[in-house]
Chain A
Amino acid sequence: MGPQAASLVLLTLFFACNGVNSSSVQQKIYVELKNTFPCVRLLNATHQIGCQSSISGDTGILHVLETESDLNWVLSSGPNPPYLVLMDAQYFNRSTMMRFRDSMRVAGVVLVIPKSSPPQGFSPHNSCPNQGTGVYSKNYGPELADCNTTVWNPLGDGLSYEDFNFPIFSLHEDNDTDIIRKCYQDHNVGVNNSAPQYPLCAMQLFSHMHAVKDTVTCMRRTDIQSRFSISPEIVCDALTDYNVWASIRPLNNTAKGHLNGEKLVVAATRLDSRSFFWDEAPGAESGVAGFVTLLATVQALRAVTETAPTPNNILFVFFQGEAFDYIGSSRMVYDMKNGKFVIDLDNIHSLIEIGQVALRRDSKLWLHSDPVSRKNSSIESEVKKLVSNMQHAGAGLRFSLDEPGVTQPLPPSSFQRFLREGVIPGVVLADHQSAFNNRYYESLYDNAEYLNVTYPPNLSPEEQLEFVTNTAKDVAEVATLVARSLYIQAGGEKANLPSINADPKMVTQMLYGFLVQPNNSWFRALVAPDVVQKLGPRPLQYYIGVHDKSDPIKTSTRIIQYILANFTGTVTNLSQSQCQHPENLPGESKDLYSYLWVQGPVAPNSTQGEGYCIRAPVRLSRAVSPAFELQDYGSKDYSTWAESRWKRINARIFLVASRDLEMLTLGVGVGVLLVSLLVTYFINAKADVLFSSSREPSSTAY
């Protein structure tokens, strides 16, 4: 007991008391920025793209880029490099970003996303999307490969595919950007064009990425970690999610491989999109318009296929990950080729793909087909029949349907992956004759406003859900066209065509939910109770993302699955536990259908719906590139895209003091220490001279 224990208790108390709350001084120094969207690192077989910060963040003096002289200040004349540039959309282009990349004076870039899109168009994607993984190569249509005849995305500057060694973040205009601008105005603007005085406003960005070089390297490192480490550090993950497919008549999911005697018509579209920044991909024209059209098609076909069914079955597929070298479609084709899917490539009668369809010019729609496969006379006749069927189906609708009329390859589409394995007659429906009409292809600005999905300002959210926009009417017409074409292709009677119509109300509800507000009453009634919580206030983003154990299927994919179930399925009166295990119930078959429990409409005075069980021929199929199944990470045939992992992504602003002040502080500190050491030593040594003997009789010498 005694002093040792006392000192031990003292030390423990000291450390215990001290470790907790160091935030009040931190609150005086740093302002944390919330709602930032970083650019992250993606890797493929040969390259890394995206952005990277150093492990302890990149700090730079803030500079707002508004004019050319600001650009010169950052790159050459400013006296306090490195700078962290805050820019508006007009400077976010290839030339400026390349100059920043080559300069050593730029510590990072923050883009303030404007409320209105740049009028001249902006696309950070490649000008020739998915160039190496389509069907055109030097062995197949070499004069059509590499966009030699048509550049599909002429506004694309390839910024998303560059590698930056500094962090790039994006912010929306809100309170945080006001704080940043105020800090800049107060501290970083010099008086009368002179250099600004310290302390200066600075920003620090953290987005350190663990993976480097390419997918081969990062998967090798992940394998080594998983094998030899107790707590493995995984450095990258493959991009993965699920495709959604459904059929008019159910297919037995346990019978894989070739289905004897069946020829199906396939209707395909893509689900996903991307942009320069992570998890920011509104994808209105490039993705949403397409899959909403196909969903409306499914709904339009429901009534007629029950009363007058077609001889052939129709398969609807929604492919995920098409922006990244056709992840979903390459996987499905691979499964079909290897007998792991319910049908085979030989079972496909023909294919109609819905591309970008919502921005028609002059009321024209175009049917793209592959000229190389059409050199085969039987394929040529099939495609001609398909085109004429579609033109017949489109009669009486408010647009004209044509083929482009020049020898032109297929636009980037999932159909190309099918053609790689064998010739199939098919067309791709699009609103563009040659180059895309979409001026914001795979960018942040491809949003609801670009498609004119806007609502009068005084409507409540529920009224907005019901309001039929002109875009919805146009998309409904395209869906009507596709539905009628599929009906004819599958062998249905042309007399039944007028009864096949897509419902504009349904289309506008889908467009509202997928582009503006997912948390609406229709979505809430349609999906499972656990998905309802994930319907956030922010519009859905369609970047494919990676597999997350807590959230294995993307919310948007699940919503599409449930909508498809609603459109193709029937309500049963099974209870919730029966819905999860319907194997032994008479009349129910888990092989033919999937059973989904949905929340159901919510009564006005309660929070939860009644819930019911839907039986639908809707399935999910895994969308992981075959390269990861075969562990051929350097594959040239399949997508090898992977996303790096990271620990910490945030941004903060603060003031920095001049180097002189810091050195002065250090100097004063060292001086005080030395002076006190000297003074104490001398006083102690001469203590008996300085202090006379004490008056206390019991005192001893020092």
Chain B
Amino acid sequence: MTVAVFFGCAFIAFGPALALFIFTIARDPLRVIILIAGAFFWLLSLLLSSLVWFIAVKASRQEEATAQKGLLIFGVMFSVVLQEVFRFAYYRLLRKANEGLAAISEENLSPISIRQMAYVAGLGFGIMSGAFSMINILSDSLGPGTVGIFGDSQYYFITSAFMTLAMTLLHTFWGVVFFDSCERNRWWAVAVVLSLHLLVSGLVSPSPSHRSRAVRTHNTCADKRP
């Protein structure tokens, strides 16, 4: 809409993440590294899932709306599963790293605990997921127009911003719960996280915003493939 909406939505979507980053992560370089690596892992999972979706779309070669919609739902679910798989992979990596950090420290104690790493990793996943959802919408919110000429709601930007905020915080919580239940081998808790993630993605998927976002994220990463 204008610069006011741009800043408003940016603050809504990334304000809490920024606050968490400033006060809990920025001081400790190790946490910063774990955050960024977590974001990278999320990005990898999205890359892989978009590759699969891209192949599926090319293989189906159909222009029907229902087939495309079915493929999209499949794509979203596969993406969610892959994100959780990569979260698990990151957990294994961090555990290995933890042993290494303990070995090189002076007191044979790792300077960071698994719980803290879980929180930071979750936040990394959340920030990247939020950025991917929100940046396109933010850049379009700078122009003079707002959504609505084809009948969509004019509160599209604000709702997207709040959704991004929710997903960021959810990813953080899921990170903590996931790592903790992996530590204690409580696999039912892992299944709960996975099913909650699927539920949230499924709830927002039918909305045109998420569908466009999902297609867009899949398209952007798939098109940039060499």
Given contacts A25-B136, A653-B149, are A3 and B33 in contact (CB under 8 A)?
Answer: yes
Complex Cα distance, B18 from A676, in Å, reads 9
**A17→B39 contact, CB < 8 A:** no
Complex Cα distance, B220 from A688, in Å, reads 44
Q: Could you mark each residue 648-682 of chain A with 1 if its beta carbon is under 8 Å from any beta carbon of chain B, else 0?
A: 00001111110001111111111011001101110
Contacts of B208 in A (CB 8 A): 28
Chain B min CB distance to A53 (Å): 13
Give residues of chain B (22-65) contacting chain A, Cβ–Cβ below 8 Å: 22-24, 33, 36-37, 39-40, 43, 47
Say whether B77 faces chain A, with CB atoms less than 8 Å apart: no
Give residues of chain A (386-425) contacting chain B, Cβ–Cβ below 8 Å: none
Say whether B137 faces chain A, with CB atoms less than 8 Å apart: yes
Contacts of A14 in B (CB 8 A): 43, 128, 131
Contacts of B15 in A (CB 8 A): 669, 672-673, 676-677
Given contacts A662-B2, A673-B19, are A6 and B8 in contact (CB under 8 A)?
Answer: no
**A665→B149 contact, CB < 8 A:** no
Given contacts A663-B4, A669-B15, are A655 and B149 in contact (CB under 8 A)?
Answer: yes
Contacts of B8 in A (CB 8 A): 662, 664-670
Say whether A699 faces chain B, with CB atoms less than 8 Å apart: yes
Complex Cα distance, B15 from A57, in Å, reads 32
Say whether A625 faces chain B, with CB atoms less than 8 Å apart: no
**A657→B16 contact, CB < 8 A:** no
Contacts of B144 in A (CB 8 A): 57, 59, 202, 204, 654, 656
Give residues of chain B (115-149) contacting chain A, Cβ–Cβ below 8 Å: 115-116, 128, 131-132, 135-137, 139-140, 143-149
Complex Cα distance, B138 from A422, in Å, reads 70
Complex Cα distance, B29 from A106, in Å, reads 56
Complex Cα distance, B111 from A113, in Å, reads 75
Contacts of A679 in B (CB 8 A): 19
Say whether A605 faces chain B, with CB atoms less than 8 Å apart: no
Complex Cα distance, B148 from A31, in Å, reads 11
**B154→A655 contact, CB < 8 A:** yes
Contacts of B149 in A (CB 8 A): 28-31, 183, 201, 653-655
Chain B min CB distance to A66 (Å): 22
**B150→A672 contact, CB < 8 A:** no
Given contacts A3-B37, A665-B4, are A16 and B224 in contact (CB under 8 A)?
Answer: yes
Complex Cα distance, B157 from A657, in Å, reads 11
**A29→B219 contact, CB < 8 A:** no
Say whether A21 faces chain B, with CB atoms less than 8 Å apart: yes
Say whether B215 faces chain A, with CB atoms less than 8 Å apart: yes
Say whether B196 faces chain A, with CB atoms less than 8 Å apart: no
**B7→A699 contact, CB < 8 A:** no
**B145→A672 contact, CB < 8 A:** no
**B12→A680 contact, CB < 8 A:** no
**A10→B43 contact, CB < 8 A:** yes
**B136→A672 contact, CB < 8 A:** no
**B7→A677 contact, CB < 8 A:** no
Main secondary structure of the interface of B (DSSP, over half): helix
Say whether A689 faces chain B, with CB atoms less than 8 Å apart: no
Query: Taking CB as reference atom, which chain A residue is nearest B223?
Result: A20
Say whether B68 faces chain A, with CB atoms less than 8 Å apart: no
**B43→A13 contact, CB < 8 A:** yes
Q: Could you mark each residue 141-180 of chain B with 1 if its beta carbon is under 8 Å from any beta carbon of chain A, else 0?
A: 0011111111010101110010001000000000000000
**A665→B212 contact, CB < 8 A:** no
Complex Cα distance, B112 from A26, in Å, reads 44
Give residues of chain B (190-208) contacting chain A, Cβ–Cβ below 8 Å: 208
User: How many chain-A residues does the 8 Å CB contact rule pick out?
Assistant: 57
Say whether A377 faces chain B, with CB atoms less than 8 Å apart: no
Given contacts A7-B40, A25-B147, A672-B165, are A17 and B113 in contact (CB under 8 A)?
Answer: no
Q: Could you mark each residue 675-698 of chain A with 1 if its beta carbon is under 8 Å from any beta carbon of chain B, else 0?
A: 011011100100000000010101
Contacts of B212 in A (CB 8 A): 24-25, 28
Say whether A607 faces chain B, with CB atoms less than 8 Å apart: no
Contacts of A702 in B (CB 8 A): 24, 116
Complex Cα distance, B158 from A663, in Å, reads 12
Say whether A22 faces chain B, with CB atoms less than 8 Å apart: yes
Say whether A9 faces chain B, with CB atoms less than 8 Å apart: yes
Contacts of B33 in A (CB 8 A): 3, 7
Which listed residue (A201, A668, A700) contacts B158, Cβ 8 A?
A668
**B16→A9 contact, CB < 8 A:** no
Complex Cα distance, B142 from A200, in Å, reads 17
Query: Taking CB as reference atom, which chain A residue is nearest B33?
Result: A3
**A6→B22 contact, CB < 8 A:** no
Query: Taking CB as reference atom, which chain B residue is nearest A681?
Result: B23
Which listed residue (B12, B47, B128, B139) contacts A669, Cβ 8 A?
B12
Chain A min CB distance to B126 (Å): 13
Say whether A18 faces chain B, with CB atoms less than 8 Å apart: yes
Query: Taking CB as reference atom, which chain B residue is nearest A183?
Result: B149
Say whether B71 faces chain A, with CB atoms less than 8 Å apart: no
Given contacts A28-B152, A654-B149, are A699 and B22 in contact (CB under 8 A)?
Answer: no
Contacts of B157 in A (CB 8 A): 665
Given contacts A665-B5, A672-B165, A681-B23, are A24 and B216 in contact (CB under 8 A)?
Answer: yes
**A29→B145 contact, CB < 8 A:** yes
Q: Could you mark each residue 91-127 of chain B with 1 if its beta carbon is under 8 Å from any beta carbon of chain A, else 0?
A: 0000000000000000001111111100000000000
Chain B min CB distance to A446 (Å): 36
Q: Could you mark each residue 118-149 of chain A with 1 if its beta carbon is under 8 Å from any beta carbon of chain B, else 0?
A: 00000000000000000000000000000000
Say whether B182 faces chain A, with CB atoms less than 8 Å apart: no
Which listed residue (A3, A18, A59) contacts B36, Cβ 8 A?
A3
Say whether B10 faces chain A, with CB atoms less than 8 Å apart: yes
Chain A min CB distance to B143 (Å): 7
Can you name 20 extra interface pairs (CB under 8 A) apart from A21-B223, A24-B215? A6-B40, A7-B36, A17-B224, A20-B224, A28-B150, A30-B143, A652-B145, A654-B149, A655-B148, A662-B1, A665-B4, A665-B157, A666-B8, A668-B8, A669-B161, A670-B7, A676-B20, A679-B19, A680-B22, A696-B115
Residues of B within 8 A of A (CB): 1-2, 4-5, 7-12, 15-16, 18-20, 22-24, 33, 36-37, 39-40, 43, 47, 109-116, 128, 131-132, 135-137, 139-140, 143-150, 152, 154, 156-158, 161, 165, 208, 212, 215-216, 219-221, 223-224
Residues of A within 8 A of B (CB): 3, 6-7, 9-10, 13-14, 16-18, 20-22, 24-26, 28-31, 57, 59, 183, 199, 201-202, 204, 652-657, 661-670, 672-673, 676-677, 679-681, 684, 694, 696, 698-700, 702
Counting from the closest, the 9 A-B pairs by CB-CB distance are: A654-B145, A669-B11, A669-B8, A665-B8, A673-B15, A699-B113, A676-B16, A666-B8, A676-B19
Q: List 7 A-B contacts (CB under 8 A).
A: A3-B36, A22-B136, A24-B215, A29-B147, A655-B147, A657-B1, A680-B16
